Amino acid sequence: MNVEQVQNTHPELVSAETPVLQVQNLEVTYYTDAGRAKALDDLSFSLKAGEKLGIVGESGSGKSTLALAMMQMIKSPGRIEGGQVYVDGTELMALNAEDMRRSRLQKIAYIPQGAMNSLNPVMRIGAQMVDAVISHVENESKAETKERCMLALESVDLARGTFKMFPHELSGGMKQRVCIAIGILLQPQVIIADEPTSALDVVTQRQVMETIDRVRKKINAAVILIGHDMGLMAQFVDKVAVMYAGRLVEVSTVRQMFTDPQQPYSKALINCLPNLDNKGVFQGIPGLAPSLLRLPGGCAFHPRCELARDICKTSRPEPQSDKSGRSVICHLFDKEAQNEPSS
């Protein structure tokens, strides 16, 4: 049986094995008066349909830049220097502006970080949803478009009456769910949620995350969750990717990440989490994240790393993978570099 026959008879098997999202060697650079800052440095990963990836890291590590680059929404002085982003076989970076506009919402959707500022304050919710549909879908009647919007609102636990309301009439959590509803109007294969629970209380945070998960299951979309909350990641995602200075320094399953992190920066992030054994003791990571304009030589984390060796200061580590699929960028994970002397 060839691939086409499998697709026709068992589409669920193909979707389970073939990545719906593939990011390959993506690079983004910001050109400033102070110099050239590489915000994304040769970044690659993939996701299958229905899979959930959490991206964590300190502020300035490149998380939001990654989301905007995948949507082709990098603004000057930023520039996408290279790489490919494939969604269901379509190479987004090769599309012109009009084709990319149509791909947004249809193939890949972005749930912005600040729902409070993402909705037009002088337009009703329904009008904003209808605008999103008619800019992408042709030959759909007004009644069909309205019903599509109503169903999207109901799928995120909002009443149909929300369609006629203004943003100021909604709570923060309701606004966030409206953004989710707009993101799923055209059932995209990939959903990027950029810190969707920021500025929300813990109860509303859980409601929003449950909403995203329920929607993901319904349309079988791959989800990228960007944030700082490691506890939230532990409860929600399947895989965790740790970013530092524009690189994915470790990508592993959520269980591997929280029970046996390999990269020293990943370990430091996990150790910062409060636990019952050390009540009232707060631990941070010494030093500061490096400026992208002046990255240290070798491994960018070596000035803050307690396990740094001489090779870490001079040689840039490359991704290493094991049999489980875990990827780590660290000389300590590289068997050939383990014999180098320590600092």
Q: Does the pLDDT at position 9 exceed 60?
A: no
Show the domains of the chain with their CATH numbers. 14-252 (3.40.50.300), 261-337 (no CATH)
| Residue range 74-120, pLDDT digits in tens | 998 999 999 999 999 999 999 999 999 999 999 999 998 776 678 99
How do residues 114-172 score in pLDDT, each as one tens digit? 766 789 999 999 999 999 999 999 888 999 999 999 999 999 989 999 999 999 999 98
- Alpha-carbon distance 138 to 149, whole Å? 15
Residue 153 CB coordination number (10 Å): 22
**Distances 323 to 85, 228, 312 between C-alpha atoms, Å:** 25, 28, 24
Amino acid type, 94: A
> Rg of the chain's alpha carbons, rounded to an integer?
21
171-197: pLDDT as tens digits = 988 998 999 999 999 999 999 999 888
| Residue 247 vs residues 52, 61, 244, 257, 278: alpha-carbon distances, Å | 19, 8, 5, 17, 31
136 strand-pairing partners: none
Number of Cβ within a 10 Å radius of residue 13:
11
Task: Give the mean pLDDT of 25-48.
Answer: 93
Sheet holding 35-48, edge to edge: 35-48, 19-32, 78-87, 90-91
How would you class 341 by CB atoms within 10 Å of its CB: exposed for 0-12, middle for 13-18, buried for 19 or more?
exposed
**Predicted confidence (pLDDT) at residue 6 exceeds the cutoff of 80:** no
Is residue 192 a contact partner of residue 111, using CB atoms and an 8 Å limit?
yes
pLDDT score of 4: 41
CA gap 297, 312 in Å, rounded: 8
